[in-house]
Amino acid sequence: MAFVKNLFDKNFIEYASYVIRDRAIPDLEDGLKPVQRRIMHTLFKIDDGRFHKVAGVVGECMKYHPHGDASIGGALVVLANKGIFIDRQGNFGNMYTGDEASAPRYIECRVNPLAKDFLYNPNITEYVPSYDGRNEEPVVFRAKIPVALIIGAEGIAVGMSTKILPYNIREVLEAEKKALRGESFEIYPDVPTGGLIDVSGYNDGNGKLITRAKFDMSDEKKIVITELPVDSTSESLMNSIESAYKSGKLKISSIDDFTTDHCQIEIRLPRGVYAKDVEKALYAFTDCEKSISCQMLVIKDNMPVAMTATEIIKYYAKKLTQIVKDELEFERAKLTEELHARTLERIFIEERIYKKIEQMKTAEDVVAAVKNGFKPFKKELVREITDDDVDSLLKIPIRRISLFDINKNRDQVTAINARLKEIAKRLKHLTDCAIEYLDAMLAKFKPEDLERHTQIAKFTSVDAKAIVKRDIPLRYDGAKGYLGTSVFGGQELLKVTRFDRIFIMRKSGIYTVCDVPDRLFVDTGMWYCNYADKEIISNVLFTVIYRDMKTKQCYIKKCRIPSWIMNRDYMLAPEGTEVLHVDTREKFEFTLHYVKKPRIKIKEELFNSADFEEKGHKAQGVRLSTQETDSVEIQKDGELDLDGQ
């Protein structure tokens, strides 16, 4: 058994680790999940400037992603709709209506040139073999901007989840610039569908965000929803409004959806109802107002870590300077090699070193002759000459030697030296270079891509109970014992709403708190029924007269009900007793009639409830008499109604 348990534990840990790192949670380095990274790698590899069928891209991507075409196709559509990674052609769905994309064989895509600017640099990216060893894929891309914030992410793993809302590109890059300068900044989500957000509890990405739809109420008899709440579509919003209407929480005449490339849902109101009367109800009972819980969980250094938006921005600011440094150093090394090659070529041709190999009979002698020929010019060389350098020189064709242009060579060397000086200067001012890069990126985006869509606002919470009128009759049929809003006939006890809770005291002394019932059997007798408001019930004094079933002795208990759990039955009297009467008056008189026995002269006795102290609801009652009680008679000023008044 121990072996089996260890085997299960090991396999579960491996599975959990795989789901967390390789499927559900994005990596901080490039903000992408593995399937997204492999899609981008595929697009970079096949990029020729033209559009490719999505079906073809999916097929190519399967070389790197071993989970089938459906997962790749769906992820590609989502990534393409983010706008900055992939250029689209065809029907990729509608983010406003929730309509799905056409089949992969009908739509086309290609990599967006902007993606190459901030994501793709194979010279400084680490690659590993793909799952079958036939190809190579990047471990992560070295992204220069916080992709995780710009596109957002959502995923559920084993024991953890992530929910990152997208941010405005311009605001993210401006915040990254401020982080580079050491300045403070604030940044909040921005989604393409617009809407309003209250960020009071957002907690920099790890709290709750309240979002609302945007209304046009210029016509008092019509409400037009012009912008959607975060994480909503026109279809889901319409469904929530229709559901609220059917349950009687909303009064509308008709609703129509004219959404295309922007949201337009028209709600027409019935006679006597105006837009200002319905606005709060839409926020209270439909998805026009939603609360969204966010958590910025990312993979950092191969481990899941919860970070804030500010921390991610600062991380990328530091990372960008390192990437700029690595790119400059790579370019410097490449130019240095180019300078060395141009210098070797000039000396090799100008000084006719190639003539010295004419009499050599072996390859070793040829290499030695070339190296010896460069000895007088050692000071002009960038580094020591190697066998590979000699091999490159010996491959120069005769035509190139005969047409060698010394002036062109000198111009190339001058340009290389000028660039090397510029690189050396830029390496001393990496922060300025990083800011310059971000400014250049901002200039490449279209103006409409940089506009903010979601408006930040402060909301006053809408209390659903406060805006609903109590106009539903709650009836009780004492003959049949049914209580509810769907009970016909009987006595009307209260006017209620669907949000009310009801406190019921049955004839047996059992009390319960429940939602307003449609039709509930409570008993053919009921002592008390009212709203289950703690301020109301805790002020009601319940006086209980009950009889012990073993001794037949009678007890009285006075208490209030301070708390309860919904839909749970409580007994007001102790177990094994019979409740004779429950009263809610502060003061009343009652007579106990005792069992007739020989030599017992006292046959009845009068009591006043005011003579007994109030105790806790869990306390036992006070015994009224040692004699066996036959019945109790309540002295009333009139008929006792259900409230005991």
List, by residue number, the catalytic residues.
106
Contacts 24+ apart (CB under 8 A), 512-517: 512/567, 512/568, 512/569, 512/570, 513/564, 513/565, 513/566, 513/567, 513/568, 514/566, 514/567, 515/566, 516/472, 516/474, 516/484, 516/485, 517/483, 517/484, 517/485
What is the spatial distance between Cα 244 and Cα 287, in angstroms, rounded to a whole number? 10
DSSP secondary structure, 477-490, as one string: ETTTTEEETT--SS
Q: What distance in Å separates the CA atoms of residue 554 and residue 547, rounded to the nearest whole number?
A: 4
Q: Which of 217, 243, 238 is nearest to 228 (CA)?
A: 238
d(Cα 343, Cα 118) in Å, to the nearest integer?
A: 35
Tell me the three state secondary structure of residue 548. Answer: strand
DSSP state of 17: H
Cα separation, 470 vs 501, in Å, equals 12
What are the angstrom distances between the C-alpha of 195 and each of 93, 189, 237? 20, 11, 13
Give the end-to-end CA distance of the chain in Å, rounded to a whole number.
Answer: 68
8 Å CB contact between 511 and 561: yes
Q: What are 446's two structure tokens? A: 């279209």
How far is 494 from 491, CA to CA, in rounded Å? Answer: 9
H and E: helices and strands count for the chain: 18, 32
Cα dist from 624 to 401, 549, 594, 598, 614, whole Å: 127, 15, 11, 21, 15
Q: Check: CB of residue 303 under 8 Å from CB of residue 297.
A: no
Q: Which two tokens stand for residue 168?
A: 């405005």
Helix (H, G, I), strand (E, B) or coil at 223: strand
Helix (H, G, I), strand (E, B) or coil at 295: strand
What is the C-alpha to C-alpha distance for residues 515 and 285, in angstroms, rounded to an integer? 17
Give per-residue burial for 186-214: e unless 16+ CB within 10 Å, then b: ebbbbbebbbbbbbeebebbbeebbbbbb
Among candidate residues 338, 301, 302, 325, the one with its CA nearest the CA of residue 124: 325
How distant, in Å, are the alpha carbons of 78, 265, 456 from that of 228? 19, 10, 14
d(CA 538, CA 532): 10
